[in-house]
Amino acid sequence: MAKGIVVIDPGHGGTANIGGSDANHAVTPSGVLEKTMTLTMGLLVRDAVVAANGVQNQVSVIMTRSSDVNLSLAARANVARDRQADLLLSIHFNGFDGKTRGVETFVRPAADNVNHADDLTFAQKVQSRVFQAIKARDANTRDRGVKDLKLGVLDDRALGNTAQKHRCRACLLEIEFIDVDVVDKLLNTGGNAAQVRSEIANAIRDAIFAELA
């Protein structure tokens, strides 16, 4: 049985950069903003988790944002601290050169992460399931793996983790590179885009349940 509290953090938002959080980063060829896609996916994940709750699963979902607003990176992590969350997942989409592809997930480096090993375990569950969900639809995606990166939203102090008590495992997921035409079609403009988004949300849900089991 999966039981616990998870914070879903849709990256970016609003119109102003706040506390290390840009209002937006990547943009698709058709003009869809990353901040819009992260919110859509975050809400899909929330709904997928809630729909699967019952006797076997009792997972509470808290959103850092549920509208087009921006929060500082510390404020996002503080939601997990204040609600004593077991997990925080920050959702993003990548953009680079219009060619690069793949799924990747980040955790804070061990040097300033009191639960690095636990974060890695959570991140690997997320990475594997999301990659497989996208690969089932597009064999050209790449598994870019789980990597260390010093990201503010994953900071232990902001999450409320200490050496003595560190219940919150956290990672940041970059679902794909949305500045690539085929990815834009896969996730936004194609006839199956809504279904693909749902499949990715379900993959994230499954990773959450597996981590909280």
Name the residue with tokens 């919150």. 168
pLDDT in tens, the chain (213 residues): 899 999 999 999 999 999 999 999 999 999 999 999 999 999 999 999 999 999 888 999 999 999 999 999 999 999 999 999 999 999 999 999 999 999 999 999 999 999 999 999 999 999 999 999 999 999 999 999 999 999 999 999 999 999 999 999 999 999 999 999 999 999 999 999 999 999 999 999 999 999 999
Rounded to whole angstroms, how far apart are CA atoms 11 and 45? 14
Which CATH superfamily groups domain 2-212?
Zn-dependent exopeptidases (3.40.630.40)
Pairwise CA distance, residues 70 & 73, whole Å: 9
What pTM does this model have? 0.98
The domains of the chain are located at: 2-212
Which structure tokens are listed for 204? 């994230």
Tokens matching residue 4? 């616990």
For the chain, how many residues are written?
213
Let me know if 104 is exposed, middle or buried by CB neighbors in 10 A (0-12, 13-18, 19+). Answer: buried
